[in-house]
Structure 1
Amino acid sequence: MNPAAAISNNLLTAAFESQASDIHFYPFQDHTNVYFRIHGKRIFYKRLISAKYQLLLTYYKFTSGMDIGEIRKPQNGTITHQESNQMYSLRLSTLPVNLMESLAIRILPQEENLSLDQLFLFPNQLNKLKEWITNQAGIVLFTGPTGSGKTTTMYSLLQTILSEKSYQTITLEDPIEKEMDDILQVQINEKAGITYQSGLKAALRHDPDIIMIGEIRDKATAEFAFDASLTGHLVLSTLHAKNASGTVHRLLEMGLKQTDLQQSLIAVAALQLLPIQINETTKRRAAILELLEGKRLEKTIQGVDDKTENAFYSFDHLRKKAYAYGYISEEIYKNS
């Protein structure tokens, strides 16, 4: 085994054993600091001398299909890695900093150990999501910051619904985070002319029942997604927004009309991950959700501030409930 591959294997094994979701390489002139993100917290792992980091960086760029000679522009790539009986997809991203390059690796397990029930802290919220995806047409949006579990939730819901009924399901993703059976997965490749828009147009010709769009990034994709939902398709997608009501404001700021939202938007689920403690030890993370639907969604689209609770529970309320039940520590409750 070459030296770079040996360094990589040791590093990845440590990350997997720590249940890290990300690895960050922070380069300085004479060394590079390596950090793991574990249960949402960035933790220092070790220091590498510059020569080892450069060796590792070149190895990762080569194996993930990046241009080794390009150091002035950000690049992205993916690697699949087998560890024991578990397969991982690694999403790599470089960023030029001070005549050097930093590297970030997102770790995506391909065989999920957690069941759908374990992904959510409160089971009634999962039941609501399952109810939403029984709609034959319309759009359901999952929102939250990067790494909040949006795509994992969509995958799990799709797997659940497809285990019960046969639907023609097509996903458009950049990149494909997890390979799934019985689903047509399209890799967005803008260099090759496969954009979200062109991919969506082609997908509609395949007579889909459900379309999953990895992320709504701009007005054009948003408009196309909403148009697709109006023509008898159930569309699932993600958007970056702070909370449920912020999602509606973001869509309106993109230029979508209120009438489009009123006709197509079934509901919004904003996700936030909390580190769950069992016997004062953090075991895993589980999601709490702000769920926006029905009359409250209608009022939000109209710009009306609904002060009544109407069974709407904010992140603040849900964190308070999680703390009261002993799921999270006082520190997490106060600082999240």
Structure 2
Amino acid sequence: MINIYSATRFIQELLKIATSSNATDIHFFPDHTAVLIFFRINGERKYHFKIHHNQYRIVLNHFKFSSGMDIGETQKPQDAALQITFKTTNFNLRLSTLPVKQMESLAIRILPQLHAKALEDLILFRYQVQQLKRIITRKAGVILLTGPTGSGKTTLLYALLEHLLIEQAYQTITLEDPIEKEMLNFLQVQINEKGGMTYHTGLKAALRHDPDLLMVGEIRDQETAEFVFHAAYTGHLVFSTLHAKNAAGTIHRLIEMGIKHIDLCQNLIAVAALQLIPVFYCQQKKRRAAILEILSENNLTAYINSLNESQLIHQTFNELKRKAFAYGYTESATV
């Protein structure tokens, strides 16, 4: 039985098991008789074990109290961030509660505080690594990474910025909600919408701080999108992310947000849409690596002008999956 004194130990043990399994998320799923605990590993949700409702309430309240959530609020969703140190390793946890019929559900995203990975460790095809390295040598403009939640957009952003900082001592400012990894070479700004530090407010302040590179964690609305493109006009290189199904869909999202055709043509350097696929490495062990739909230079300008996907000349996700299968990286061409 978990009590208030052993909740910390239970949480540490749960994190130990989750991280040793390379889990990216922990889900607490209440049903009528117990609370089921699932891990998301390599994109797949896997059952771990279950605990009693009373045990779960103690664990949930411990998380809510430690992260600054309102323990008494059980009828509205809440979000928070929490840092935990376990055996000299720091973890940033993103917490989300959701009221359901039985009680509140809890989802935890695990963000290990490790150095940014090399681009070669994140991207499956080496020629796409080289393509990205060429793209990010530009001095001004907007580079967007797109894809669904959990596709590795922010992880790849950190790796790109780290690669640039190895080459030159750029003044780099990031605006994030939350800050997923603490990086020594970046000036990292925590976005706090409730406290008045919005992406728009943070961008205005960051531009007065003489940056060479700006990283905006996510373009969420028209105001932020317009300011990102304005920053590119003033001679800054801006990296950001956006939720979109594929590279072509990113252009449609930006147009829906009110970004003008001329701004896209003059300032958008590249769009790289990500998908993570399971691949073999090191004696048939599995991990996930990114494949990229990339629009840049001539093919990007041509698509902005025509918005006709049938005329696009670029490798699609389906083509990249077939190539990964042909090279023996994957078990199937339709992963």
User: TM-score, with normalisation over the residues of structure 2?
Assistant: 0.95
Number of paired residues? Answer: 332
| 28-37 vs 112-121, greater mean Cα deviation | 112-121
Matches of 1:79 and 1:159, distance apart in 2: 24
Matches of 1:272 and 1:254, distance apart in 2: 23
Structure 1 residue corresponding to 2:330, chosen from 328, 331, 336: 328
Q: Is the 8 A contact 2:123 2:129 kept in 1?
A: yes
Superposed, 1:43-54 pairs within 5 Å as 43-54=46-57
Matches of 1:73 and 1:130, distance apart in 2: 44
**What is the aligned partner in structure 2 of residue 141 from structure 1?**
144
* Amino acid of the structure 2 residue aligned with 1:287: A
**What is the aligned partner in structure 2 of residue 92 from structure 1?**
95
Structure 2 residue corresponding to 1:277, chosen from 276, 280, 285: 280
SS of structure 1 residue aligned to 2:194? helix
**Identity, % of aligned positions:** 54
The 1:264/1:113 distance shift into structure 2, 3 A limit, reads closer
User: How far does the alpha carbon of each residue in 1:194-251 deviate from its partner, in whole angstroms, 9 at most, with x for none?
Assistant: 0000110000000111110000001110000000011000000000000000000110
Structure 2 residue corresponding to 1:158, chosen from 153, 161, 180: 161
Superposed, 1:163-174 pairs within 5 Å as 163-174=166-177
Asked if 1:33 corresponds to 2:36, the answer is: yes
**What is the aligned partner in structure 1 of residue 178 from structure 2?**
175
Q: Is the 8 A contact 1:299 1:306 kept in 2?
A: no
The 1:185/1:113 distance shift into structure 2, 3 A limit, reads closer
Matches of 2:67 and 2:104, distance apart in 1: 16
Structure 2 residue corresponding to 1:66, chosen from 65, 69, 88: 69
Shift of 1:99: 5.2
Matches of 2:37 and 2:102, distance apart in 1: 19
User: How far does the alpha carbon of each residue in 1:163-198 deviate from its partner, in whole angstroms, 9 at most, with x for none?
Assistant: 220111110000000011121110001111100001
Shift of 1:281: 4.4
**What is the aligned partner in structure 2 of residue 317 from structure 1?**
319
SS of structure 2 residue aligned to 1:161? helix
User: How far does the alpha carbon of each residue in 1:272-316 deviate from its partner, in whole angstroms, 9 at most, with x for none?
Assistant: 011112377443211000000122211221234254664x11000
Asked if 1:296 corresponds to 2:310, the answer is: no
Task: Structure 1: give runs of 5+ residues left out of the alignment.
Answer: none
* Amino acid of the structure 2 residue aligned with 1:126: V
Asked if 1:245 corresponds to 2:248, the answer is: yes
Asked if 1:55 corresponds to 2:63, the answer is: no
Matches of 1:75 and 1:169, distance apart in 2: 31
Task: Structure 2: give runs of 5+ residues left out of the alignment.
Answer: none
Matches of 1:320 and 1:85, distance apart in 2: 42
Matches of 1:121 and 1:257, distance apart in 2: 34
Structure 2 residue corresponding to 1:16, chosen from 19, 24, 47: 19
Q: Is the 8 A contact 2:11 2:59 kept in 1?
A: yes
* Amino acid of the structure 2 residue aligned with 1:102: S
Structure 2 residue corresponding to 1:233, chosen from 236, 240, 249: 236
Asked if 1:200 corresponds to 2:203, the answer is: yes
Q: Is the 8 A contact 1:139 1:236 kept in 2?
A: yes
* Amino acid of the structure 1 residue aligned with 2:104: E
Matches of 2:321 and 2:196, distance apart in 1: 44
* Amino acid of the structure 2 residue aligned with 1:214: G
**What is the aligned partner in structure 1 of residue 10 from structure 2?**
7
The 1:41/1:24 distance shift into structure 2, 3 A limit, reads same
| 212-221 vs 298-307, greater mean Cα deviation | 298-307
SS of structure 2 residue aligned to 1:71? coil
SS of structure 2 residue aligned to 1:190? coil
| 300-309 vs 220-229, greater mean Cα deviation | 300-309
Q: Is the 8 A contact 1:108 1:178 kept in 2?
A: yes
Q: Is the 8 A contact 1:29 1:50 kept in 2?
A: no
The 1:327/1:189 distance shift into structure 2, 3 A limit, reads same
Matches of 2:134 and 2:252, distance apart in 1: 24
Matches of 2:215 and 2:15, distance apart in 1: 30
